[in-house]
Structure 1
Amino acid sequence: MNISIIITNWNGISLLKKYFEKVILASPEASEIIFADDASGDDSVSFIKNLQKKYPKIKIMAHHKNQGFGKNSNNAVSRAKGELVVLLNSDIDPHPGYISKCLSHFSDPKVFGVGFAELNHENYGKIFWKNGYIQIEPGISTQTHISAWISGGSSIIRRSEFLRLGGFDGVYKPFYFEDLDLGLRAWRSGYQLLWEPKAVVEHKHESTMSKKPKTLLTYVKERNHLICVHRNISNISLLRQNHLFSFLRILSGPNYIKIILAASRQLKKYPPPVTFPQLTDLEVFSLFK
C-alpha cells in the first residue's frame, strides 16, 4: 500500500528541529511526507524548505491564513497520494516499525484507522454516557483492541474513507474533540477503529497549543464537548439528560450559559458532515462496556 505522512504545524519551529528528521528516519514505508503549516509566524517553513533539499520526498503545504487543526489536516489528506495516511503532531517521536506493525489490519476493509500506542500512555479509547455527556476514559490492554477514537496526531487512517466521511468536522475549530467526533461517525457508519500496542510512538506533549491561555483552552474544551454531544447523539432520552445536566451546570456555575450559547452559534455556522448510519449511538456505546 502507498503511504503518506502528514505532520501538522503551527509556530512549532523548536519541535520541528527536534522531531521532524526522526519521523523521516523511522518511516521508510512512506512515499511522501507532507508538512502542513497553518500560517506560522516563525521560521517553520524556511526550516522545512532547507530540510527538503536533503529529503526530496518532503512536500510543503503552507496556509497564509490560519485554518485550525481540522481544516489544515483535511486539506493535507485531500492532497496526499497514499491509500493510507499517517497523521502526526509535530511533537511525536516514533519508534522504528510503528507503521509496519499496523499494516496487516488494513486487509479488513472495515478498518477505518489504527491508533499508535503512546509510550507511558498505552491505552485505547473507551466511551460511556454519564451525567448527560459523552465521557471518555483510557482502556487497558496488551493486545490489539477496538478504540472509540484514534488521535488526529498519532494514527494511520484509510484516506478514501476519511474523505468519504468529510474528515474532521470544522465545527470544532480551532481544536479539541475532532478525533472523538470522527471516531463516533466512523463507528456509526459501520467502520472499525483499532489501537495497536506494538506501534509505539513517544508523544512529548510539547505542543504549541499548550502555550495558549489556560482559560481559553478550558472554554474551547467545554464548548466542543457540548458540540460533540449535539453532533453525535440522536437518542431522545440521552438528549433530554443532556438538557437537564446542562441546566444544572448553569445553576452551579452561571458562566456555563456562555458555553451553551457559544456552542449554539458554532453549530449554526457549520452544517453537519455526511454520515452513513448503520449503528445507533446506544449501539456504539455498548461496544465499550
Structure 2
Amino acid sequence: MDLSIILLNYKSRGLLRQCLRGILRAPPHATYEIIVVDNASGDGTPAMVAREFPDVRCIASSVNTGFGPGNNIGIRASRGRYVLVMNPDVVVLGDALEELVSYMDLHPDIGICGPQLVNPDGSIQYSCYRFPTPMIPMYRRTPLGNFAFARRAVGDYLMRDWDHRDEREVDWLLGACIVLRRSMLDAIGLFDEQFFLYFEDTDLCRRAWEAGHRVVYNPSVHLVHYHKRESAGSFMQIFTNKVTRVHIASGIKYFQKYWGKPLPRVHGS
C-alpha cells in the first residue's frame, strides 16, 4: 500500500462528502486506502459513508478525542508507506495526490511534506510557519495582536517575508493537509495526545526535525481549504470562547514540554 488517506470528521458530514467525492474523482495512480475517523459527531456520518462510499473504511469513535488522538486512530489502522492527514474541508485538485506520492518518493530525506493550500477564491493561505514564541497564541487570539510589535511577531511567525509560491524547508506545517512518511512515524511516534487541538502539528514537525527528517512546503501541489481562521476577539474570549481557551492551553503544554530545550533548527533558516 502506497498511500493512506486519513480524514478526521467532527460534525462536518457535508464537507466530508465533498472531500471524498474530490478524492475519488482524482485518485492517485499509486495504491491507496481511505480511512474516515468520525469523532463522535452524532450526525449520521458513519451511515452516510457506508451508504455512499462503500469502499471507504469508517471508524466511529464513541467520544470526541480531539485532533491528534483522532488522527492517531486512523494512522494506527492504516497500512500505507505514506500517510496523508487531511481535514474534510479540503478539496483535491487535479493530480495533487499522485504528485505528493511522487514527490515523497523522489525525496527520501523528507519526513513531512505540505502542499500549498488556497482559499476558494484562489488566494494563498498561510500554511507553513516558524516555530512560535510563547506570546504568539495571545497575539493571535486577543487584542494584543493589534499592537505594532505583535503584528511584526505574527508576521515573522507566518513567514510573510518570503514568496509562498517558492518551495522551501520550513519549521512546521499546518496539520490540515500533510503527508507523513511511515518510517518516520515508526521512529518518532504519532501525534502527541496531550494536545486535544492545536500545537500537535507543531510538535510533530519539531520532533521530525530533531530526528533528522526534513519538513518541506511544496507549493507546486495545491488544494482548496475551506477553513477560515477565527479573528482575535476581546480578552474575555480567554474565559468565554472554548476554542480560544483550548488554543492557549495547548500552547502552555507545548512550551512546558520544550522549555529550556534548543530549537532543532535556526528560526527561519
Specify the TM-score bucket, using the shorter chain as the normaliser: 0.7 to 0.9
For 1:244, the equivalent position in structure 2 comes to none
How far off is 1:79 after superposition?
Answer: 1.2
Is the contact made by 2:131 and 2:202 (CA closer than 8 Å) also made in structure 1?
no
| Alpha-carbon separation, structure 2, partners of 1:68 and 1:25 | 29
Whether the 8 Å contact between 1:133 and 1:229 is mirrored in structure 2 is no
Q: Which amino acid aligns with 1:85?
A: V
Gaps of 5+ in 1: 208-212, 236-279
C-alpha RMSD of matched pairs (Å): 2.5
Q: Quick one: which of 126, 130, 136 aligns to 1:127?
A: 130
Question: Residue in 1 aligned with 2:112?
Answer: 113
Deviation, structure 1 residue 179: 0.5
Q: Which moved more, 1:148-157 or 1:193-202?
A: 148-157
Residue 66 of structure 1 and its aligned partner are, at CA, apart by 2.2
Change beyond 3 A, Cα 1:128–1:66:
closer
The 3 A distance-change label for structure 1 pair 214 and 147 is farther
**Preserved CA contact (<8 Å) 2:3 2:83:** yes
Report the Cα distance in structure 1 between the residues aligned to 2:240 and 2:179, rounded to whole angstroms. Answer: 30
2:219 is aligned with 1:193: no
The alpha-carbon distance between structure 1 residues 32 and 130, as it changes in their structure 2 partners (threshold 3 A), is closer
C-alpha contact (below 8 Å) 1:142/1:197 kept by paired residues: yes
Show the counterpart of 1:63.
61
Cα distance in 1, alignment partners of residues 68 and 207 from structure 2: 15
Deviates further, 34-43 or 118-127: 118-127
**TM-score of the pair, normalised by structure 2:** 0.78
What's the offset of the Cα at 1:98? 1.2
Structure 1 or 2, whichever has the larger Rg, is: 1
Distance 1:105-1:223 versus aligned 2 partners, 3 A rule: same
Which amino acid letter does the alignment assign opposite residue 218 of structure 2?
E
5 Å-filtered alignment, 1:139-288, equals 139=160, 140-173=163-196, 175-205=197-227, 215-235=241-261, 280-281=262-263, 283-284=264-265, 286-288=266-268
Is the alpha carbon distance of 1:214 and 1:168 closer, same or farther for their aligned partners in structure 2, counting shifts above 3 Å?
farther
Structure 1 residue 100: Cα displacement = 2.6
Superposition deviation, residue 162 in structure 1: 1.9
SS at match of 1:196: strand
Which structure has more relative contact order (CA 8 Å, sep 6+)? It is 2
Change (3 A) 1:92 1:132: closer
Q: Confirm or deny: 8 A CA contact 2:128 2:174 kept in the other structure.
A: no
Alignment correspondent of 1:2: 2
Opposite residue 268 of structure 2, the aligned amino acid is F
Question: In the alignment, which residue of structure 2 is the partner of 1:34?
Answer: 35
Unaligned runs of 5+ in 2: 138-153, 230-238
Secondary structure in structure 1 of the residue aligned to 2:35: strand
CA-to-aligned-CA distance 1:69-111 (integer Å, 9 cap, x gap): 1111112111111101111101101111212323234433321
Could you tell me how far apart the structure 2 residues matched to 1:152 and 1:131 are?
20
Measure, in 2, the Cα distance between the counterparts of 1:15 and 1:129: 30
CA contact (8 A) 1:33 1:59 kept: yes
Distance in 2 of aligned mates of 1:155 and 1:130: 23
- Contact preservation (8 Å) 2:117, 2:127: no
Change (3 A) 1:214 1:159: farther
Q: Does 1:94 align with 2:92?
A: yes
Shift of 1:123: 4.5
**Structure 1 residue 30: deviation in Å?**
4.7
Q: How many residue pairs end up in the alignment?
A: 234
TM, length-normalised to structure 1: 0.73
- Alignment CA distance shift 1:216-1:122 (3 Å): closer
Q: Which whole-Å deviations, capped at 9, do the CAs of 1:137-191 have from their partners, x for residues lacking one?
A: 1353322211211222211111231243221111111x11110111111112211
Does residue 138 of the first structure (1) align with residue 159 of the second (2)? yes
Give the distance between the partners of 2:23 and 2:33, measured in 1 at CA: 12
- Which stretch of the first structure deviates more once superposed, 85-94 or 100-109? 100-109
Distance 2:18 2:3 in 1: 23
- Within 2, Cα distance between the matches of 1:12 and 1:130? 32
